[in-house]
Homo-oligomer: A and B are copies of this chain.
């Protein structure tokens, strides 16, 4: 193809994340840590196409999400890129229900697409890291406790600063609103309750007044949101509200049951709290709801959200698939942690050693020893270009690889190798046997 005078724009599209190698390694380290934590809890991988029939996505999407969908046609098909991993899961479970074992526990770590207006910390393509446990007809409430223990495990393994898992049960707020005869405005009110920790109490009250809610119910809603304390205190306060409808009582019972089982799972009391301002107004949750925040960086918002739903696949199937799950928006989380300086690209390369022949004559020995190390499973790069020796070592340094194996003229003759620790600067001349032993460990 002939060169064109005008070159094509090569910058990444706005709203898309593209990383340099050191940051990519850090990102992948987080992604692998999440995967390992999910597998440790007995979840198995699922992969579905990024492209779905448009009607499948539109059956579930609504409002803002619907506007954000990337859709297009190819041949006779109206297609769209998935905007989350839950809708594809619902379709998958409906389609393959008779071939799956229930409870079906899957993790799915993949990219999703939302064509929203690019803004700080928002991405049009981003990784979601999801787990869900799906039952057929029924699903034990103990799973809700287990999901909380997975959140605890994931963020412990990620080694993030102090985090707190906040849980509630949506039936509580629904029961309260039913008691207050406000069920018809439930979605609007829940959306406001979700914002309770972001706006002042006065503003919240004012907005409730704007919704034409009478003073008495407003006092009760505010009292409900403001219940604070340790788990025991919150439960007692909830009991004292004396709301006796079925929904509220079911929510209370569920919350108590979940907390009880969380303790059996060894989750420390200090990492979670009951927080009644979590309502997740826009979501399809029907029971337990979770959010997780970094205690000293609340501005980051929830880094892991989820909950229990009665019916995963109502748009696609007549069967009932109750489930509980969470999602971590990894791209956004990575971007925020990186901006705040909480994580740094100091994760070393998966490559353990670079073989550095002093000059061309050492290349055959470099290839031989490199090949032997690889056969033993040691991740090895062989530096093959002609360059000044200083530049070769500087290359190893920049890559963040821990060891260099240097082969000079003397080493060729004696079949020796200089093993250099690039961090400490220590080096030693070793025989092949000693070298393999040292690097294989």
Contact = CB atoms under 8 A, between A and B. Distances in A.
Contacts of A315: 1, 3-4, 7-8
Interface stretch (A223-231, A259-267, A302-310): A259-267
A317 B7 CA distance: 7
A44 B349 contact: yes
A71 interface: yes
Given A12-B49, A39-B379, A115-B75, A364 B264 contact: yes
A9 B384 contact: no
Among A8, A27, A264, the one with the most B-chain Cβ atoms within 10 Å of its Cβ is: A8
A314 to B, nearest CB: 6
A10 B350 contact: no
Contacts of A9: 53, 55-56
A92 B49 CA distance: 25
Contacts of A379: 39-42
Contacts of A99: 20
Interface of A: 1, 3-4, 7-13, 16-21, 24-25, 27-28, 39-42, 44-53, 55-56, 59-60, 62, 70-72, 74-75, 77, 79, 91-92, 94-96, 99-101, 103-106, 111, 113, 115, 124-125, 135, 138-140, 142-143, 145-146, 149, 153, 261, 264-266, 314-318, 349-351, 354, 363-364, 367-368, 370-372, 374-375, 377-382, 384-386, 395, 398-399
A407 B391 CA distance: 62
A51 B371 contact: no
Contacts of A70: 51, 72, 74, 79
Contact of A265 (B8, B74, B101, B367): B367
Given A50-B111, A368-B264, A377-B40, A140 B10 contact: no
A10 B56 contact: yes
A339 B228 CA distance: 60
Contacts of A52: 13
Contacts of A372: 266
11 contacts: A7-B317, A10-B316, A20-B99, A40-B374, A41-B381, A42-B379, A42-B381, A71-B72, A143-B384, A149-B371, A153-B374
B51 A16 contact: yes
A12 B350 contact: no
Contact of A77 (B13, B74, B100, B111): B13
Q: How many monomers of this chain does the complex have? A: 2
9 shortest interchain CB distances as A-B pairs: A42-B381, A72-B72, A264-B367, A10-B95, A140-B384, A16-B49, A266-B371, A142-B384, A42-B351
Contacts of A370: 265
A42 B135 contact: no
Given A13-B49, A25-B45, A142-B363, 7 more contacts: A8-B53, A8-B56, A12-B95, A39-B379, A42-B380, A45-B350, A50-B111
Contact of A354 (B42, B149, B398): B42
Contacts of A153: 374
Contacts of A42: 351, 354, 379-382
B105 A381 contact: yes
A353 to B, nearest CB: 8
B371 A20 contact: no
Contacts of A95: 10-12
B385 A140 contact: yes
B10 A91 contact: yes
